[in-house]
A and B are shown apart, each in its own frame.
Chain A
Amino acid sequence: MRCDDVIRELANPTEGRDPIELAYHLAHCKVCARKADQSIRLEQIWEATRPSDPPAETWDRIWDRVRGRLEGLPDASHSRPPRWFRLSSRNVARARSWGTVAAIGIVGVSQAAAVMLAFGLSWKSPYSTPPTGVEIRRTDAPMVVQTLSPTGHDPTVEIDEGQVVLIKTEGSQIQVIDLSSGEPADNVDRWYLAFNDVESMANPVVAMAE
C-alpha cells in the first residue's frame, strides 16, 4: 500500500481493507506512523477536553424559548420563518458562501472522525505488529543466494521476506544476490521507503494551492 492509500483507507475504510497490510505499512513507514500517533494523541486530547452533552432539560428549555418567541410574533409574519432565519437578498451570497464553508467543514470533520476511529481500531488491533514466524535472512555483506542456469524453461527466483534481491544476469547465468544488511539502527526500513519513493516517482502527485 502507498502512503496515500493508507491515509485514505484510514480516513474512509473500505470493505476490502487488509488490516495486516495496513499494520505492516504503519510498522515500516515512519511518516504514516507519526501521523497515526498524532491522530491518536488528538483523539485523546479531544476525549479529555470535550464538553459534556447538555442534559435533556436544557434542550427542553431552549425549545420552549424558541417556541415562545415564535408564538409572540405578529400574525402577518406568523407563517413566515423567524427573522433570524430569513435571508435578505443582500445576504444571500454571503449565506451561500457560509453554507459552502459549513458543508466543507462537515465533510472535513466527518472524515477526521473516520480517520481517528480507524487509527484507534488499528492501534488496538491484534494485527498492530507485522506477522512473525517468518525467518528473515540478512547478512552484513551482499551474498549470492542462488545461481540459476537456464535449462530450456525460464528459471524461478524465490525471494524471502526481508530480502532485497539483485538478479544479475551474465551471459546465460543468473546470480541472485541478497543486498539486505541487518536491522537498521533507527528501525526504519530504507528499502521500504525507497519503494514508496519509486512508486511516487511513477505516479507523481501535484499539489495545488488556491
Chain B
Amino acid sequence: MLATNFRGPRRVRVDHKPEPEIRHPQDAIVRVTRACICGSDLHLYNGSVPDTRIGSTFGHETVGYVEEVGADVQNLKAGDHVLVPFNIACGKCVFCKQELYGNCHESNPQSTAVGGIFGYSHTAGGYDGGQAEYVRVPYADVGPMIVPEWMDEDTAVMLTDVTPTGYQAAEMGGIQKGDTVVVFGAGPVGIMAARCAWLFGAGRVIVIDHIDYRLDFAEKWCPAEVYNYDTDLHGNVVQFMKETTGWIGADVCIDAVGAEATGRIEQTLLGKQMHLTGGAATALQWAINSARKGGVISVVGVYGPVGALVPVGNIVNKGLTLRANQASVKRLLPRLIEHVQNGILTPKDLITHHIPLEDAGDGYKMFSAKLDNIIKPVLVPPTAQMSSTVH
C-alpha cells in the first residue's frame, strides 16, 4: 500500500509499505479515505519529538471504511464507514473510565505521560498513522464512531481532532458568560477554539497570530477580533492585552500554538533551533502574562516532554488556573455531532486543500511554510474516490 514515510527532519516521501495486519483481537483494519495533516504533525516533521523513527507513517486524523475486524470486535463490521479519533483508548483503564480517553494507560508502553496516538512517534506508542491507504486501529470497539449517513467525509475527518480539540480548549477555559477570551494561534485548532468560545458564552473573543490570511479567516468565520502581533502590536502582546481589557487582563487565555511558536527569540533559539527545551513556549508565556489575576489558562498546544520556559512565578502570584489535556475525542463527539447537525459548527469550512497522498511531501511543505493561504490540508489516497476538487 502507499503510505507516508518519514525520512528525517522536513523530509517525507510516499512509499509502498506492507498493509497492516490484525495484531490484537480488538483491532480493526481501516481503508483510509481522508487523512488530515495536523499542526501537531509539524512537530514530528521538524524532528522535534523524541523517538520519531525513520520510516514512520504519520497521520492521526482519519476517516475510512472498515476492511477487517479482530475476533473480539463487537461493534464494527467490514464495510462500516468510521471516523477514527486521534486517541487510542482501551475503554477499561481507570482513566478511560473517567472519559479521559486521551490519557489511556493501556495503549502506550513507551511513555506514561501520553496515551497512544496514531502516527505520532514511538513516544506515543509507535503506531503507524492514517496518512496511508490502510491503517491498523486498536480497540476498535472504543474509539471509532460510525459516520452518520448525512455527514460528508470532510466534516467527518474534521471531527477526529481539530473540532474536539478546539472545543475542549474552550471548555477547559471554564468560560463564564461575558468573559473575555484570547486565543493564541490562528491555526485550525485556534480558529475552532475561538468559534467554540462563543458557545460557552464568551462576551469577547480575540485571536492573536502573525499570519494575516489566517487572521482574516478567523475574523469572519469565528467571528473574532484579530491582531497580528508583529504588524498590529509590534510584539507588545501583553501590554496590548492589558490595555484592551481596562488594564486587568483577559479572563481566559488559550494556547493553541504549542512548540512551534514564533515571536520571542530566546524561546525560538532554545526550543526550536537547539531543542534544549520542550519547544518554544511563546504562546504559553503570553497567555500567562495576558491573563487577569485569578484567570484561567487552557493549553491544547503540543509540547515536548522536557521542560519549557514559562513564567511559573506569575502563575502563582496571579492565582491562575492552568488546565490542559489532549482532547478526549470520544467524550465530546456526541455533542459535536449535534452541533454540526444543527448548523452551529461547520468545521469543513477550514479545509482549504485536498492533496493526493502521493504528494504528501508537498503538502507538508505547504502547511509548514504557510504557502498558498493554506489553513487545513487533507490527504486523499488514490484508492479513495474524490468527492471534491483537488487543489
Decide whether A and B assemble into one complex: no
B interface with A by C-beta (< 8 Å): none
Binding site for B on A (CB under 8 A): none
